[in-house]
Amino acid sequence: MKIRKDLILKYNQAGPRYTSYPPANYFHEGIAADDFKRAISQSNHERPQNISLYVHIPFCPRLCHFCGCTTSGSKDINVFRSYIDALKTEISQVAQLLDPGRSVTQIHWGGGTPNSIPLDMVQEVMDLFRSHFKIEPHAEIAMECSPAYLEFEDIDRLAAMGFNRLSLGIQDFNDDVLKNVNREPSKHPVDQLANRMNENGFKGLNLDLIYGLPGQTPENFKKSIEKAIEVNPNRLATFSYAHVPWVKKAQSVLEEIGIPSAGEKLALMEIAYGLLTENGYMSIGMDHYAKPDDDLYQAFLDKQLHRNFQGYCTRATTGQVYGFGCSSISQLDSGYYQNKKTIKGYIESIGNTGWAVERGYQVNTDEKITRTVINEVMCNLFVDFNEIGKLFGKDAAEVKEIVGYDVDKLALFLADNLLGIKEEKIKINADGSLVIRNIAMTFDPQLSVNQNQYSKTI
Ligand SMILES: C[S@@+](CC[C@H](N)C(=O)[O-])C[C@H]1O[C@@H](n2cnc3c(N)ncnc32)[C@H](O)[C@@H]1O
Ligand code: SF4
């Protein structure tokens, strides 16, 4: 299947990625630990009742120039030790406020590179989780790993700790491209890592790739995608390189090497889209692909797909998210609570008070309604104003008024045949999914786009 490149270029403007609503740039410092504590207690009476746990590990042995994540190059074992101790304190503090009857359906380790710290430390945290929480037998337990530091035995150990999904950061299989971005290739062949995961009964493997890096060409990127397909993961993400040097100064280095233009990036995206869809992968949103029998694709078909800061998930697995570690964000029904961003600031704050929240946002009912509409647009490409209204005791007209619905704002998308409107329902088609951020922006009554605030679609 071909993508309509003309459309993507036409709608290529800066805008929020809507991993949360309101987006994280709305968070403010009027929110502190006491608000978070109250929100945790209140969350015991809110939906969803199930719990998702997120652990942030802000360490990488070597820093990639393109990286947009919150991480550091620290390799000091004493810093790791203090960080894990702080994490354990924070987990115990949160657990004391949570209703022990609630169960955990999702645990996600992200970073940084969680597999770059000693696995004994991972084990300590997992043991603590098990001592504090009721973890569902089928909970999704996942870690983002860099294959540069992943040994076969690590996979065995992670399996023994209960991990059942791994996401491997490949970015590109081409060594020259990796050199340009200061990244080490996988230590072992990735297909052999995948085999070891299969032997250990893992349920899911995801590969992350990025397009738009210096040195990527249609020819070499095609080979990388073909190699990724050979590994046969259940899921694949091909992220558009987000260039935000005003936030991440290290990215400026890449300008000197030469970053592909929007048109060149689009050609890379088209290669990924074409090869993946021809080889049994279904496209979910703009960046993500899944095998047809994967939970994620099934949830998309059933309009049950959801998103949190960790990525796409199914409504059945994700719950309210309690985040641990520096920069981590707890996403509760009532709002967002983000920890201090620096490792030092986080460890000190936990040491002094047991808490590290430094900013956040409390969501009112109108914002919850907008959040639901935008989530439906971004994940399920479908909005039913009546159904959303029912969740909040409102009718379709009231929901539309809250999100500033105006059919004129959708006129361009209608003219380009990207969506259809029937009664109180909006259905976005496959072409529309490629400009989904632009469509979502029309349902955001608070939107104000400052050029240097958000990355562009392409
Ligand atoms: C925490 S990392 C994954 C685990 C590990 N640190 C690694 O790199 O293998 C999360 C993912 O974010 C993506 N990422 C990081 N910086 C990005 C950027 N500037 N633009 C788009 N994607 C980015 C990469 O694909 C990366 O795999
Ligand atoms: S992409 Fe991954 S390995 Fe590279 S610096 Fe970012 S978090 Fe670390």
Please give the distance, rounded to the nearest whole angstrom, from the Cα atom of residue 145 to the centre of ligand 2.
10
Q: What are the tens digits of pLDDT across the range 22-40?
A: 999 899 999 999 999 999 9
Q: In the numeric block, which tokens belong to residue 190?
A: 């990735």
Which residues approach ligand 1 with their CB closer than 6 A? 60, 66-69, 110-113, 144, 146, 169, 171, 208, 210, 239, 241-242
What pLDDT score was predicted for residue 450? 55
CATH architecture of 23-362: Alpha-Beta Horseshoe (3.80)
**Which of 118, 112, 108 has its CA nearest to residue 72?**
112
Domain with CATH 3.80.30.20 in the chain: 23-362
- Whole-number Å distance, alpha carbon 102 to ligand 1 midpoint, is 32
pLDDT for 137 equals 95
Confidence (pLDDT) at 449: 57
The ranges of the chain annotated as CATH 1.10.10.920 are: 365-441
> Which residue among 56, 59, 67 is best mutated to probe the pocket of ligand 2, counting the most ligand atoms within 8 A of its Cβ?
67
Q: What is the pLDDT of residue 457?
A: 67
Ligand 2 residue neighbourhood (C-beta within 6 Å): 60, 63-64, 67, 69, 71, 111-113, 146, 169
Q: Which atom of ligand 2 is nearest to the CA of 111?
A: 7
pLDDT of residue 316: 80
Q: Render pLDDT for 268-315 as a digit per residue (tens, 0 to 9).
A: 999 999 999 999 999 987 689 999 999 999 999 999 999 888 888 888
Cβ neighbours around 425 below 10 Å, total: 14
Closest C-alpha to ligand 2, atom 7: 112
Q: What is the pLDDT along the chain (458 residues), one digit of tens a residue?
A: 678 888 888 888 888 888 889 999 899 999 999 999 999 999 999 999 999 999 999 999 999 999 999 999 999 999 999 999 999 999 999 999 999 999 999 999 999 999 999 999 999 999 999 999 999 999 999 999 999 999 999 999 999 999 999 999 999 999 999 999 999 999 999 999 999 999 999 999 999 999 999 999 999 999 999 999 999 999 999 999 999 999 999 999 999 999 999 889 999 999 999 999 999 999 987 689 999 999 999 999 999 999 888 888 888 888 899 999 999 999 999 999 999 999 999 999 999 999 999 999 999 999 999 999 999 999 999 999 999 999 999 999 999 999 999 999 999 999 999 999 999 999 999 889 888 999 999 999 988 655 456 777 66
pTM of the model: 0.95
**Architecture of the domain spanning 365-441:** Orthogonal Bundle (1.10)
